[in-house]
Amino acid sequence: MHYTISGQGPIVILIHGLFGDLDNLKALGKELETAFTVVRVDVPNHGASPRISQMNYLTLADDMTKLITDLCGQYGNQKVTLVGHSMGGKIAMATALQHPDIVNKLVVADIAPVSYHSRHDNVFAALESMPLEKINDRRQALTHMQNAGIDDGTAQFLLKSLTRTSNGFEWKLNLQGLKNSYPDIIAWPNFDSAYQGPCLFIRGGDSDYVTAAHRDAIMSQFPQVTAKTIAGTGHWLHAQKASIFNRIVKNFILE
């Protein structure tokens, strides 16, 4: 996986969500790099990481484990802390459940260890229908997204993955690979044992991604969990109330 490193100290790896890239948690990285070695990754099929036809949480956890092993060898650390938002939270949880010996602490932002119903069909349709060869600027791209029924905030987020080339525009995302993998991205595999390390779940008060119905699934797989809710935020809690989110994460890691 493509990644960037900043700061120094114990290793903290930041993992973005679906359709994002390593810049999504950049503000958190800035907050943490005064005390930690911060690694921000591009998940496969996002950003500058390799494009693959299929991805699921077992293989993504294996990829993350290889990265962790390499980083720990370079920096002399034994364990790392994982912080993930949405899909990135699932990758972090899967890694901790498969390889608890290399994960010191776990922070999961607005996602639960459960399977979800499809909720991105309109996003895929909007991205796939973007007339990349015809648009001249981002304003036209934004208009296309709005006309496709995507709200402004989500559209602006998605358009961060639109890049200009010498031949026009293209997506940094591997849309076909993500679409092929989407059933696995919204699913959740079964694991044989629980992660016994310290774990923090942070949810947005206005989000429906983590609800009371998910409590048993969380507690059975992550029994040492602490939960926080940030009022007045939705699924993008790390952007909507960044200072509060960053402080909660940093305080938990420093405990």
Positions marked active-site: 86, 235
**Alpha helix (H) residue ranges in the chain:** 26-32, 57-75, 87-98, 121-128, 138-147, 152-158, 175-185, 215-221, 237-240, 242-254
The token pair at 93 is: 């949880």
Residue that is written with structure tokens 């797989």 in the block:
221
Rounded Cα–Cα distance for residues 60 and 67 (Å): 11
The terminus-to-terminus CA distance of the chain in angstroms comes to 29
Nearest CA to 113 out of 214, 229, 224 is that of 214
